[in-house]
Structure 1
Amino acid sequence: MAYRSAPSFCRSCGTPRSKPGEACEACGAPAEVVTATPEDPSRTARRFFSALALYFVLLGTLLLPFALAVQWDAAMLDRLLVVDTVLVIAWAVAHRKDVGPRLRNRGRLGSWVLATALVPVTVGLALGNVELMRSFLYVEPIDPSSAYAMAGHPLWIALLANALQPAVVEELAFRGVIFGALERVMEPRTVVVVTALMFTVLHLAMLGFVFLVAMGLLLGWLRLRSGSLYPAMWLHLCHNAVMLVLQWPS
């Protein structure tokens, strides 16, 4: 956001600043550097609409196979992963002023430990959601990794496609490009909620709404707390990997 004076909250962790001109008391982030000339509002608007464009393009790549009645097999999923990866990298380069600092910041050790500690929580929520769907709704959840198992691919290929790629690419998109653009026009905690809802809708799994919102909130909170993309990527990677291993056919 283009500020004419120092913001009243820390842009790294979201904690209100009791002394806006000094370093954050919670995370130690330096005081906001305020320039004499605020950022051009048209540039802020372009970043905002560019981030929204990325979101709807990604949503379109997921909806297109449904519209074309294409079978969701491993080959189709591979093509989709490649397309999404190229798109997100291109947008991240275009938004490098927002994304770059978050990639250069590796995050404090405490944020990595916290991300690791949250893995059992997110896995428990996901398994609970799966059991709820089976027991009360009599619905078998869709497991994208099953396409790789049916195609005869080894587990490590499925881990690359369903754990590593989503962790890096989705976090680069949501907590990188989109988060960075939205925090220029919204309060940080609002951005966490908005990106969590966008993250939920993109997964096209409304029966998993509660879990996906919770996951999105945790990932956004990690991004806000650490000022880095890596702890959120780590949680996302570990969660997907554990779920994949647990559901992989023996």
Structure 2
Amino acid sequence: MNLEELDNKTLYCSHCNATMSDNDKFCGHCGMPLVPEKVGKERRVVYLIVAFYAFFLLHTIVSFFIYEEEITLTRELWVEGIFILSTIIFCLMDWKRILALFTAQGVPLWAWGISILFPIVTGFSVYYGMDVINSFLEVEDNNVFWEYFTYENPVLWAMIFYVLIPPIFEELAFRGFLFNQLRLLLNPTVTIIATAVLFALVHFSFVSMLWIFPFGMALGYLRFRFKTLWLGMIIHFIHNLIVVSLDYYYFDSTFFYEDLIF
């Protein structure tokens, strides 16, 4: 609840419209606590941030156990569908400010160049760098086509689930909704860091956090610097496209079938 000031001296309870003193903590007429409007708005923002992160963390954990049991196209469609729908619902709560991020106005040519060159560097660096790290840690390399090769049109589904959906909806969720909410409470630097941390955590991979966190920092900075989601979406798209393309290039379908049979 908040106080409404209708003139320079008199304050009114916004719940019952009773006359109040500026020193009152509770309304003498209805007994409701008097919460300043700013505090009420900040509290709502905190609730939204907590709800956002709790939901996406739960979604990540549930998805992990679903995929541990068995990966099927139907299950993946359900998991991705829930992710897309929930992202849209959160974004609708702040749709005007998110819609304003779909602009290219004021973005210099060099920034567009970076959005193309940067993911080329990260795509190849992350792919081969993670291969070295996985070998050192004796962690099995998880080629995406080990999951999708039994699907009809595996390349199409890999492109949809890895190359199209994440750049659009992860950027909407983290650099759109979450960034907007955190920015109402925190300064730009802390907002960029906090968004990158949450972005890395929901990917649910300790090893991958080595590159996902700085990657998220870069995307967050560009979103703040140029007030647009386009650069982040382009970077995210090209990076994922390179990783999936390399997975396809190195995937040995003959070995897959031999392993399946024996």
Identify the TM-score tier after normalising by the shorter chain.
0.7 to 0.9
CA shift digits 1:97-139 (9 cap, x unpaired): 4312212456624322211110122113312432223321111
Aligned-pair RMSD on alpha carbons? 2.2
Alignment match of 1:50 (pick from 48, 51, 60): 48
2:134 maps to which residue?
134
Task: Decide which of 33, 40, 62 is 1:64's aligned counterpart.
Answer: 62
Q: Which structure: larger Rg?
A: 2
Shift of 1:39: 7.2
TM-score normalised according to structure 2 size: 0.74
- Residues 217 and 122 of structure 1: CA distance in aligned 2, closer, same or farther (over 3 Å): same
Work out the CA distance in 2 between the residues paired with 1:107 and 1:234: 17
CA gap of 1:128–1:154, structure 2 versus 1, over 3 A, is: closer
Q: Distance in 2 between matches of 1:241 and 1:127?
A: 11
Equivalent position of 1:89 in the other structure: 88
Question: Deviation string for 1:217-245 (max 9, x for gaps)?
Answer: 11111111211011001100111011001
Partner of 2:172: 172
| Amino acid across the alignment from 2:85 | V
Equivalent pairs, count: 213
1:155 aligns with 2:165: no
* Paired residue type of 2:100: P
**What residue is the counterpart of 1:214 in the other structure?**
214
- The residue aligned with 2:114 is 114
Q: What is the percentage of aligned positions where both structures have the same residue?
A: 23
Aligned-residue offset at 1:156: 2.7
Structure 2 residue ranges without an equivalent (≥5): 1-35, 253-262
> Do the aligned partners of residues 145 and 40 (structure 1) sit closer, same or farther apart at CA in structure 2, a change above 3 Å counting?
farther
State the shift of 1:158 in Å: 1.4
TM-score, normalized by length of structure 1?
0.77
Q: Deviations 1:52-86 (Å, cap 9, x if unpaired)? A: 31222122112114456642333322211111000
- What stretches of structure 1 of length at least 5 have no aligned partner? 1-37
Query: Separation in 1 of the partners of 2:37 and 2:178?
Result: 18
Instruction: Confirm or deny: 8 A CA contact 1:98 1:181 kept in the other structure.
Output: no
